[in-house]
Amino acid sequence: MTTLFDRNRLGALTLPNRIVMAPMTRIRAATGGLATPSMASYYAQRATAGLIVSEGVQPSLVGQSNPGTPGLHTDEQTTAWQSVTDAVHTNGGRIFAQIMHSGRVSHPDTTGTVPVGPSAVAATGQVFTPTGPKPAPVPRALATAEVPEHAHAYANAAKLALAAGFDGVELHGANGYLISQFLSSNANLRTDTYGGSIRNRIRFAVEAVSATVDAIGGDRTGIRLSPGATIWGVQEEDVPDLYGALLAELAELGLAYVHLVATTDDETLRGLRTAWPGKLIMNPSSPSNTQPADRAAADRWLGWGADLISFGRPFIANPDLVERLRIGLPITPAEEATFYAGGDSGYLTYPAYRHAA
């Protein structure tokens, strides 16, 4: 019987367990999108995970979503990340960088430029800016000739990620950001080769992943997907067919993994597990689910064929989450008020479990 604590091979890596720390935005980068010593400590504290996937890292200035997020598009950013990857490796861990292009989920007050997207359709809701939340602006629709540049931005960031010491990268194709926007049937109203049919709507995702594989190799490349999610107002039609077609294209590229979020029903997700021939990371909880993933959900998905299980919010308040899951210790709830507050409080201040004397 497969357990969370079995070793597993992922690309060129041998993981000591099947527990993945999911990517989570924490808004702790310094000016210029630079990683900090506190970020190095934060990730190093959680290095017992089989794999860490970093918070979303913008591959370009126009791809930045929130103030205070880190980047991987300058030499200074690359150098700053080296202290993070060194700290994780010193503590025996493995870490992938999540490359996240925000697309329309951004604001000129944050980046100094109008956000871009597949079409001139604003996201639903308010986005964070340096002066507080503001309505999401209408993005500039990318011209057909511009689209490959943004697909290749993921690959360029991936090369910098390896230079910074990351073990690989995960493309953020989920949660209403740029790849997800191209997959969408309401954020993507294009009539060129990137819009309309399923074949066209998956084209951007396939091009972004293909460019990244060409740059750093498939065994160092993964992608995160959220089938059927409605985050930031994104809607998708024909979810099983859409993602079935996408996975069929990605299966030719020799990826390290696909990372699915439980944003649709179990039947659809289990069908996608069957359709995907490679390694699958499953996150049993979605961002909109108030109940974080637990051991029971993890075990259920291992039984349904997932290779690894990712945990997000439980890792925030439990740097020793692997050990807590292993021996059944209580899971400390995270303080939501500190998720994006900046500073070390609620970031580096959660202790490992203290056993009674």
Q: For residue range 104-135, what is the model confidence (pLDDT) as tens digits?
A: 999 999 999 999 999 999 999 999 999 999 99
Q: What is the DSSP letter of 58?
A: B
Q: How many Å apart are CA 166 and CA 222, to the nearest integer?
A: 13
209 φψ region: left (φ > 0), alpha (ψ -120 to 50), beta (else): alpha
Q: Which residue has the higher pLDDT, 272 or 285?
A: 272
The tokens for 35 are 């990683």
- Give dist(CA 229, CA 239) in Å, integer: 10
Q: What is the distance between the alpha carbons of residues 147 and 206, in angstroms, rounded to a whole number?
A: 12
Give Cβ neighbours of residue 333 (< 8 Å, ≥ 6 apart): 317
State the DSSP string of 135-196.
EPPPPEEPPGGGHHHHHHHHHHHHHHHHHTT-SEEEEEE-TTSHHHHHH-SSS----STTSS
Catalytic site residue from 177, 243, 347, 350: 177
* Bridge partners, residue 309, by sequence: 19, 282
Q: Helix or strand or coil: residue 103?
A: coil
Residue 91's pLDDT is: 98
**Pairing relationship of beta strands 13-15 and 8-10 according to DSSP bridges:** antiparallel
Answer yes or no: are the C-beta atoms of 181 and 234 closer than 8 Å: yes
Q: Is residue 22 part of a domain?
A: no
The pLDDT of residue 355 is 72
Residue 264 lies in a domain: yes
pLDDT of 230 above 70: yes
Amino acid at 196: G
What is the token pair recorded at 48?
């017992």
CA distance 106 to 124: 12
pLDDT at position 204 over 70: yes
177 assigned to active site: yes
Report residue 1's pLDDT band, with 50, 70 and 90 as the boundaries.
Answer: confident
Please report whether residue 345 resides in a domain. Answer: no
What per-residue confidence (pLDDT) applies to 356? Answer: 62
pLDDT level of residue 291 (50, 70, 90 thresholds): confident
- Does residue 153 carry a pLDDT above 90? yes
pLDDT value of residue 224: 98
Residue 161 has pLDDT above 60, yes or no: yes
Stretch 69-86: mean pLDDT:
98
71 within some domain: yes
Q: Which two tokens mark 142?
A: 């990318």
Q: In the predicted model, what is the mean pLDDT of residues 208-214?
A: 98
Q: Are 158 and 219 in contact (CB under 8 A)?
A: no
Instruction: Note whether residue 92 is domain-resident.
Output: no
Mean pLDDT of the chain: 96
pTM of the model as a whole: 0.97
Question: Domain containing 205 — which CATH number?
Answer: 3.20.20.70
Q: Give residue 64's region: left, alpha or beta (phi > 0; psi -120 to 50).
A: beta
Please check whether residue 258 is in contact with residue 293, taking contact to mean a CB–CB distance below 8 angstroms: no
Chain Cα centroid distance, residue 272: 19
Asked if the model's pLDDT at residue 277 lies above 70, the reply is yes
- The sign of the dihedral angle between the CA atoms of 70, 25, 249, 51 is positive
For residue 162, tell me if it sits in a domain: yes
- Give the number of domains in the chain: 1
Integer Cα distance of 317 and 76 in angstroms: 30
pLDDT of residue 285: 86
Assess if residue 84 is contained within a domain.
no
The string of pLDDT tens digits covering residues 85-94 is: 999 999 999 9
For residue range 326-353, what is the model confidence (pLDDT) as tens digits?
Answer: 999 999 999 999 999 999 999 999 999 9
Is the confidence at residue 357, as pLDDT, over 60?
Answer: no
Q: Mean per-residue pLDDT for 146-162?
A: 98
Assigned token pair, 335: 């303080």
- Residue 160 counted as domain residue: yes
Residue 292 has pLDDT above 90, yes or no: no
**Domain range for 182:** 8-17+56-77+98-306
Residues 136, 156 contacting (CB under 8 angstroms): no
- Mean pLDDT, range 5-10, rounded to an integer: 97
How far is it, in rounded angstroms, from Cα 297 to Cα 15? 21
